Structure 1
Amino acid sequence: MRYLILSDIHANLEGLEKCLEAAKEKYDKVICLGDLVGYGPDPNAVIIRVREIAQVIIRGNHDKACCGLSDAAEFNPLAKIGTDWTRAQLTPEHNEFLRNLPVGP
């Protein structure tokens, strides 16, 4: 069994697609270790894409903050701005999806 492990995508759809292209489908399962959103311009599109390909997805600290489960108080000022922007962009469905992801270590 070959696994493709993804993490810290941070709403960078272009970067995610480049990683998938580089992997050339030489994997059996995809596991995402969190931080689908935060910082980048495409939070909803990244969530859609990761849901299409990943068999396991774990909620990261940026996912937790962006869906409102934490206040991002420990984030640096730029990350806090990104969190606030992402919160405003997320669809209600994607916000709920992030809220319901299992928690990582």
Structure 2
Amino acid sequence: MPALHDVASQDRSRGPRHHLLPTLPKGLTPGPDRAKQWGLNKIQAEAAWTTSDGTGAIIAVVDSGVDMGHPDLDGKLLAGRDFVDGGTPQDENGHGTHVAGIRRCRDQ
């Protein structure tokens, strides 16, 4: 996929966007919705966080796109590409936005 390599090299050439990486709480957020976060228990997230906190990680989401106007993702997105139609990576069904939001959204 030459196009994929073009995007990857383009993003690397511009350097990391440290200002896009907020300081997030380490650990599971307590509260009334904590019981709904069963997936974090399933993947043993707290044990993983003792190994690495993800500092310096760049996350790529290859999915249906992303809602580029979503307020919780504002200022947290890098350049994207639509590998199917060649247009913008605007999400038309919401799945990609959901996946991106799992990692990037603000603690509400």
Q: TM-score, normalised by structure 2?
A: 0.27
More strand by share: 1
Instruction: Answer with 1 or 2: which has the greater Rg.
Output: 2
More helix by share: 1
Q: TM-score, normalised by structure 1?
A: 0.28
